[in-house]
Structures are given as structure tokens and as C-alpha cells.
Amino acid sequence: MFINGEWQDAASGRTFEVTNPATGEVIGTVPDGDGDDARRAVAAAEAALPNWAATSPFERADILMRAWELMRERADELAELMTVEQGKPLRASKAEVAYGADFIRWFAEEGRRLNGEWLPSARRNQRFLSVHTPVGVVAAVTPWNYPMSMLTRKMAPALAAGCTIVLKPAEATPLNAKAIFEVFHDAGVPPGVINMVTALDPVPVGEVFTDDPRIAKLTFTGSTAVGRRLAAAAGASLKRVSVELGGHAPFLVMPDADPVHAAKGAAALKFLNAGQACISPNRIYVHSSAAEPFVETMTERVGRVVAGNGLEDGVGCGPLVNDDAVAKVESQVNDAISKGAAALVGGHRLTDGALGDGHFYAPTLLAGVTPDMVIHSEETFGPVAPVIIYDDVDQIWDLANDTNYGLAAYVYTNDLKTGLQAVERLRFGIIGINDVNPTSASVPFGGMKDSGLGREGGREGLLEYLETKTAGFAI
């Protein structure tokens, strides 16, 4: 753990093992912290807050820029660590390291633009000044599926705003978090400004995060169920809350779209990170007029995706995070097949040879998916592409919106009018029009409904860590 600028053991002395999901081998041990460790970390963050908040945005930006440089210099070793601990193919790990570094650079630059403003008054002898100040000590909980970029997406804006932070990283990927903390520490972040508590059981740490009055804001990325509990508990003390939760993204292929182009996009996106992404397409709606070439292209593309250890050349789909994740995917696929769906590609666990030591499920294409199947209504978080054929274009918006989630949606069309309709009618926070990567450090990321509260990235991502003060001057 990292508390007050020092690497420390848990007060209890307990540790837990970290394993490689592709091989099952133990790759390290980390401290198994608890509530007492979390309170020590919060105390360090509270003590460091006044001095850090008093630094100028330019001083903080200089440190962040140094962290950006270090992350780029260490990109290869960071990517290899990510693949070993999290499982994604090395090429994808390198892309995530670059993406994570982008957040540091963006918020270093955005932090320099923490502008206030003069506001008018109805009184001739009055002036108003509005300024931003740090919200205070931030508690952050980050996920395992993007174990570096989700840290920098929270840490960089918090630091740029002048906040101090206590992080609880996912228990599956603490070594990735340690590597990112080393980057920030080596960049010159003062003691106490960033703190980390690793824990196998997240509940005691989470209770400190929601109950401790010294914490001003909670930020969480993970499942909707856990996010609801944390937000509800934090709400009792009126803490600021931002939560980025699950998704059930529709992928709409309109009648005028190029079905081959759309299929290539769907295949590229669906199997990214083995489908373990909150913006992964979970319901692929294809108009009946485009179904044959779309499915034909998807079958060929999915059939070429190689599952295996992410360190090996040619692998496009790594392992799932654990055996429970494999069992969930298996259950959804079996349910769909039992109700009439067909697995055109895959549809089973992978256990042959070395794959039997890890948590692998075959890249899968399901055809004939209908609303009565579990996969139609629940997020899969695995390498399964379910295709749903539709006829009535007028109903497609209702079909897409028929979910409690509202994170990401994708639309393929060659008609500008349809693209604009999609932006206006789809109830999702992120919409890709002929685009399977509608994200960047410079734009807001987040959803509506059960997909969360608040935004990360862009200017909005910095405002999440700021309070607004207004002063009235009588002159």
C-alpha cells in the first residue's frame, strides 16, 4: 500500500496473491488492507490537502506533465505488466497505456485553465466574482478491466483540481495500480497527496470511503449494483458522488448502411478486451435487408479471432477475469441456444492445452437472438456477439432504448438525417455514428439512467472535482 509517500504493509500483516488469468500462476502478493488502513490513508490525504490545494495550477500541471512523460517512457513495461496481470493482448495493453497517459496530459493542460469569472449584478454598486476551489479529499474505486487508464482518468483531474486522493484499486489488478502510483510518485507528487489501499475484501474500505466525514467526494467505476450501494451510503453524508457503471449497448445497422463495413466495425469492437468493456455492443440490431452480408462478414471475422495468452503473437482475445465470468457467459449462451439461437462461431469454453489453465471462452457469434433470451436483456461482459434481425425501422429507437442502461450506443448509416435522429432520440451518454471508438481524453465520458452519474474526461471531468464559490463586492 502507499500511504503518506511510503510503501507500507497492512497493519494486520495480511497479504493476498495476484494471479495471471491466462495461466493461473501467481505473479505477486500485495497487502490485504482493511478499514484501519483506509483511515490511515484518509488521515494522510487530509493532512496533505491544505498545502496541495494552495499550490498554483501551473505547479500542479508541471508535476502532471512529468508523470505523462514518465508513463510514455515506461510504456512497454507497463503494457507487459497489464497483459500479465489483466490478460488483454499486448497490442491492446499498449493502446491503453497511451490512452491513460492522454488523460494525464489533458488534465495537466486543462488545470491551467481553471478560470473564474466576473458576473453582472442588477445593482450599479455591486460586482460578483465566481471561482473554483478543490472539493477536498477524494475516495476512488477503480475496476480491473482497464486497470491503468481508469486510474489516470480519476487521479489526473483530482490532482489538477488541487484535491488529494485515496484509491482502492480492483483486487484483481493491484500491481497495475502500484505501477501507476510509482509514476506519479517519481514525477514529484508530494507525500500524502496520493494514497492507495489494496484489499481482497473491498467492503471495509468502502465503508470508510462512504462514512468518513473527512472524505468530500467518492468516485467509482464498476458494476451498477455496487455503484448503487456506494452512492446510497455516500448520500447519507451528502458527499459528492460520480459513478461510471454498467452498459447494455445497442449496435444499430440501418437499412442504408454498408453491412460489410458495419460488420467489420462490430467485430473489431465486440472482442476488444474479450468483451469486458462497459461500452461493448451487447445487442446488435441488423435490418433484414442487410442481414445476409452482415452475418456472413461477421462469421468470417469472428472465426479469425484467436483466443489465448495476450503475450503471444496473433492473439486477439485474451482470458476473462476469473471463472465466475466464464460461467456467466456460458450460462447466457446456453440459455440462448436452448431457446432457439444458433452459435455460428464458438459457443463454448476453451480448455484445450494451455488454455485449460486460464479463464477462456471462445469468441462467439449468436444468430436468431430474441427478446426472451437472457443475453437480450442483461450485460454479458464477455466475447459474445448476439445478432437480432429487425424489419420495422420506426421501432428501432424504442428497441434500442428498451433498457435501464444508458452508456453507449452505435449506429451505422449513410444518411445524415438518420445520424442526427440517432443523437437526438437515443438515451445514451456516448453515441458512435459509423464510429466504434467515440472516446478521447478531451471529451466527456459517462452515461445516464443505471449507467451512472457524472462525467469523466473533457472539461466536465475536471469540474467533477471542484466546488464553486461566489463573492459579492459592494463598491
Whole-number Å distance between alpha carbons of 137 and 193: 9
Domain limits of the chain? 2-245+451-474, 249-440
Domain 249-440 has CATH 3.40.309.10: yes
Q: Which of 39, 1, 32, 26 is nearest to 14 (CA)?
A: 32
Is 244 marked active-site? yes
Pick left, alpha or beta for residue 3 (phi over 0 → left; psi -120 to 50 → alpha; otherwise beta).
beta
288: number of Cβ within 10 Å = 11
Nearest to 222 by CA among 21, 30, 407, 20: 407
Please list the ranges in the chain whose pLDDT falls under 50: none
Which of 96, 110, 244, 464 is the catalytic position? Answer: 244
pLDDT at 302: 98
User: Would you call 278 a catalytic residue per the annotation?
Assistant: yes
> For residues 10 and 181, what is the distance between their CA atoms, to the nearest angstrom?
17
Fold held by 2-245+451-474: Aldehyde Dehydrogenase; Chain A, domain 1 (3.40.605)
Tell me what pLDDT residue 242 has.
Answer: 97
Q: Answer whether 198's CB lies under 8 Å from 38's CB.
A: no
- What amino acid is encoded at 221 in this protein? T
Residue of 163, 278, 317, 464 with catalytic role: 278
What does the pLDDT read at residue 166? 98
User: Which grid cell sits at 316?
Assistant: 486477439
Cell for 231? 452512492
